[in-house]
Chains A and B, each alone.
Chain A
């Protein structure tokens, strides 16, 4: 503790004892904050007060003795103060590790939205807090095909992020051999089943888009397939498909579906952060979502995705409780 601090303390104490004015107590409050910043422990403060009192006036022996007792009592408070400090340091360290992990996780997701001939793609993918359990990716296959993956890992935060990195490497490796959608999910399921906690699973839609024939072949594993907009009819249809989530049973198999897109048709793929959005105190229903999609369907794909996110957030009073991903793909 510095001499200057001691002198200042003595001065405040002396002024207060002389005047007993509220203003002097305000000075004491400010000093208290400063002492905390300087990390002065409670027992040191008692000691400081006792010394300051001695320098203001002669102190009777029983008061001096009472301060010795108070110092002893304060030791435990001092220990608590020090452990809080160490907890704060650990918390700051953890926070910075989470930030690094979150940045690393972001690098697993596409940095830019790819462009392919004859289609227009828009994506909004936003984590509820820091790290996301939503996964999406595009891979260019040979010739005129590309793949599209959208998935949701149960839970959030660090466990979901760790699972996502496994998923990303598995999808990338299996992508090399360009499997069909149902085979892709069958293989991914084996990888996930071997490497995931029993209370976790992954839901996923994996599809291949052919930009020559404009057909989309896909398979689903426990994932809500999404919507198909038929421009000629001006109508949204639920995409078909069902299958058990990845990671539950080693021998799950999946069924392949196919849809052909005409000019202006739109595929909407999503995660449950979209469908389970809140609407004030209640929850969004399919008709609400289709209504929003219908209102925005004439906009460019990215603008449409952005606008729907904005509307759903407004409806949920800007409280995003789950990771949110929507992919809009239009045949131009």
Chain B
């Protein structure tokens, strides 16, 4: 499965741009990258999903777990630039109102 991860960092603030497919097979790689940033003392993590073509419920589960981990470490966590398809998944599963999601102009 194709997955791309690009990180733009400014001191302890990181923007992680994901692309391709986020599913049970690629999730561990994303989680590892984001957790390593958190462990290294990140104060702000923003995940950009504009290039994500496919995401399943494993991806949502990973973001929920990350959101909880960030909360514990006092790091702010945002998800931004959701495609229509990914936004629909967040809405159906009920996580749209739980995770801090930033849309176009705010992002």
Minimum distance in angstroms from A210 CB to a CB of chain B: 27
CA distance A224 to B89 in the complex (A): 9
The answer to whether A224 touches B92, judged by C-beta atoms less than 8 angstroms apart, is yes
The answer to whether B65 touches A272, judged by C-beta atoms less than 8 angstroms apart, is no
Residues of chain B with a CB closer than 8 A to A245's CB: 93-95
With A155-B24, A222-B92: A201-B54 Cβ-Cβ less than 8 Å: no
The answer to whether B93 touches A155, judged by C-beta atoms less than 8 angstroms apart, is no
The answer to whether B94 touches A199, judged by C-beta atoms less than 8 angstroms apart, is no
Within the complex, which residue of B65, B91, B93, B95 is in contact with A198, where a contact is CB–CB below 8 Å? Answer: B65
The answer to whether B68 touches A198, judged by C-beta atoms less than 8 angstroms apart, is yes
**A285 and chain B: residue at smallest CB distance:** B85
Residues of chain B with a CB closer than 8 A to A272's CB: 56-57, 89
Number of interface residues of A (CB under 8 A): 23
The answer to whether A199 touches B65, judged by C-beta atoms less than 8 angstroms apart, is yes
CA distance A154 to B58 in the complex (A): 5
The answer to whether A248 touches B24, judged by C-beta atoms less than 8 angstroms apart, is no
Residues of chain A with a CB closer than 8 A to B92's CB: 203, 222-224, 242
CA distance A321 to B53 in the complex (A): 15
Per-residue interface assignment for chain B, residues 78 to 91, with 1 indicating a CB less than 8 Å from any chain A CB and 0 otherwise: 00000001000101
The answer to whether A198 touches B64, judged by C-beta atoms less than 8 angstroms apart, is yes
CA distance A79 to B23 in the complex (A): 37
The answer to whether B58 touches A155, judged by C-beta atoms less than 8 angstroms apart, is yes
Is A276 positioned at the interface, with any CB of B under 8 Å from its CB? yes
- Pairs across A and B, CB under 8 Å, 28 listed: A152-B57, A154-B60, A155-B24, A155-B61, A156-B24, A198-B64, A199-B31, A199-B62, A199-B64, A201-B57, A201-B60, A201-B64, A201-B93, A203-B57, A222-B92, A222-B93, A223-B92, A243-B94, A244-B93, A244-B95, A245-B94, A248-B64, A248-B95, A248-B98, A272-B56, A272-B57, A272-B89, A283-B54
Chain A interface (Cβ within 8 Å of chain B)? 152, 154-156, 198-201, 203, 221-224, 242-245, 248, 272, 276, 283, 321-322
Residues of chain B with a CB closer than 8 A to A155's CB: 24, 58, 61
Residues of chain B with a CB closer than 8 A to A223's CB: 92
The answer to whether A244 touches B64, judged by C-beta atoms less than 8 angstroms apart, is no
Minimum distance in angstroms from B96 CB to a CB of chain A: 10
CA distance A276 to B57 in the complex (A): 11
Residues of chain A with a CB closer than 8 A to B23's CB: 321
CA distance A321 to B26 in the complex (A): 13
**A133 and chain B: residue at smallest CB distance:** B57
CA distance A272 to B85 in the complex (A): 12
CA distance A245 to B98 in the complex (A): 11
**A245 and chain B: residue at smallest CB distance:** B93
The answer to whether B58 touches A203, judged by C-beta atoms less than 8 angstroms apart, is no
Minimum distance in angstroms from A223 CB to a CB of chain B: 7
Per-residue interface assignment for chain B, residues 55 to 80, with 1 indicating a CB less than 8 Å from any chain A CB and 0 otherwise: 01110111011001000000000000
Minimum distance in angstroms from B65 CB to a CB of chain A: 4
The answer to whether B94 touches A248, judged by C-beta atoms less than 8 angstroms apart, is yes
**B69 and chain A: residue at smallest CB distance:** A198
**A152 and chain B: residue at smallest CB distance:** B57
Residues of chain A with a CB closer than 8 A to B62's CB: 199
Residues of chain A with a CB closer than 8 A to B89's CB: 272
The answer to whether A154 touches B57, judged by C-beta atoms less than 8 angstroms apart, is yes
With A155-B24, A198-B64, A283-B85: A276-B93 Cβ-Cβ less than 8 Å: no
CA distance A245 to B92 in the complex (A): 9
Minimum distance in angstroms from B91 CB to a CB of chain A: 8
Residues of chain A with a CB closer than 8 A to B65's CB: 198-199
- Further pairs besides A244-B94, A245-B94: 17, Cβ < 8 Å: A154-B57, A154-B58, A154-B61, A200-B61, A201-B57, A201-B60, A201-B93, A203-B92, A222-B93, A222-B94, A242-B91, A244-B98, A248-B98, A272-B56, A276-B54, A283-B54, A322-B56
The answer to whether A199 touches B61, judged by C-beta atoms less than 8 angstroms apart, is yes
Minimum distance in angstroms from A117 CB to a CB of chain B: 33
